[in-house]
Structure 1
């Protein structure tokens, strides 16, 4: 392999899926009471989300915690239990309603943030791939010309795809409820392909 070059191609797309990181948290005098209370609160949250139109397969447990809190070690002041839930909202128009549903579960509700995704990125990635390859190929042709050598065939192709989620600042459920007049906004997301090409001289 005589020449190695890299290229990058990006395409802006509008996200169509919301991923909500929610959950419930309680504190009780004993571990058993805390665990029972958090499981009951999680069941209420799950049922409320299903009633809000979220399909069961779009709900998944993301965290389960039980542990002591100390007033001054080793004296335990309370036991904290938490259960996280990841919620996939496939209709962005219902995003605010789903967030309000979480907040409406009660004081146990927690919202840890949201991210936006593209459910079917294949077409956009194909376009980004073309851009990345053409950029890398143009570099290879330039280097071959500078070296005074004819450019030969491609002998290696490596690809890295990157599409970082678009996060929303973390808020407590109460804060999001107070700001319910402000709709969430997904903006646009850049889907990027990085490609590395290896060429031989002819």
Structure 2
């Protein structure tokens, strides 16, 4: 006979990477004009991001589109071309500067959002696992006591990592010139631990 309990643990850390989703959008009278304009604007954007300190290998194209816009179907009023880019910013002290750089590219520029990440979550996960396992052990000991049985060895462990990191309130104030704050992120795990009853 054995007993199975569930423990939950979480730990938080300050993100150290920002993923910036940006791009360019151009409208033209012809498909060729719109596409050429978007490609030229995208080249300017990539050059500006590299100039702002983003490494070339941290730039990734995420969208490339071209299509008509209708005034009243099937009458085409213009053509729209867009190209998107994801920029990985590894120095968060430069986050605001990189964002401002995108805005400075011109009227074609688009800012589509940012995501903060913990680049190496292993240490945070280790702390969360310790808390989850400790909680499971406390529950198992209590149930064994209620059943009047000694708690034996662990016979099974199953782990489930929680979903995407959840942003938390930042614990330290941002610098006065910063307008973008990474806050903190919680990473959690749930463990299901099976124990045998002792003799």
TM range (shorter): 0.7 to 0.9
1:48-197 to 2 correspondences below 5 Å: 48-162=48-162, 163-164=164-165, 166=167, 183-197=179-193
Query: CA, structure 1 residues 166+83, in 2 after alignment: closer, same or farther (shift >3 Å)?
Result: farther
Conserved? CA contact 1:117–1:166, under 8 Å: no
SS in 2 for 1:149: coil
Unpaired segments ≥5 residues, structure 1 = 168-180
Conserved? CA contact 1:61–1:85, under 8 Å: yes
TM-score, scaled to structure 2: 0.86
Conserved? CA contact 1:117–1:165, under 8 Å: no
Conserved? CA contact 2:167–2:186, under 8 Å: no
Task: Note the aligned Cα RMSD (angstroms).
Answer: 2.0
Unpaired segments ≥5 residues, structure 2 = 169-176
Q: Equivalents in 1 of 2:99, 2:26: separation in Å?
A: 20
Q: What is the Cα deviation at residue 102 of structure 1?
A: 0.4
Runs of 4+ in 1 over 4 A off after TM superposition: none
1:51-81 Cα shifts (integer Å, max 9, x gaps):
1111011111112222222212222222211
Conserved? CA contact 2:8–2:135, under 8 Å: yes
Number of residue pairs aligned between Structure 1 and Structure 2:
189
